[in-house]
Structure 1
């Protein structure tokens, strides 16, 4: 029996090893698809978080023009929100 015949016998279309290999490859493909979907969701969440933070800062800056005395109180709150949002988006919380 030649090496090619042995190979076909062990890994041919109907062998249990080739079915197992296909199952393993299908499992890897599914895991990759799930990871890709999670990454896309995380990227979308991060973009949304950044957009919301920027709009909040812009609105606050506009309002602080009328009452600049509030800046020492409001700016630390905005900084805390921005840090918390970046932490949540980085760790996917």
Structure 2
């Protein structure tokens, strides 16, 4: 089991036990608070495990316009395409 999965299991188990004990004792406010904490633990464990997408990930890079990559895309280094030919002069035409 992954770390977030173990956390969710044990947090859920302990919170469910406390929730049951609070309901048996008649502490409705405490039971409601623990139920909220129970839901929050699974919610954040889901984010940590990657099951829920938060929308916080950066968008994927744009696809290349031509060939293996395109000029102007951040982080793209054409390197040496062929000896004696620079990539910047040959990559402007896409035919």
TM-score, with structure 1 as normaliser: 0.40
Of Structure 1 and Structure 2, the greater helix share is in 1
TM-score, with structure 2 as normaliser: 0.39
Q: Which has the higher contact order (CA 8 A, sep 6+)?
A: 1
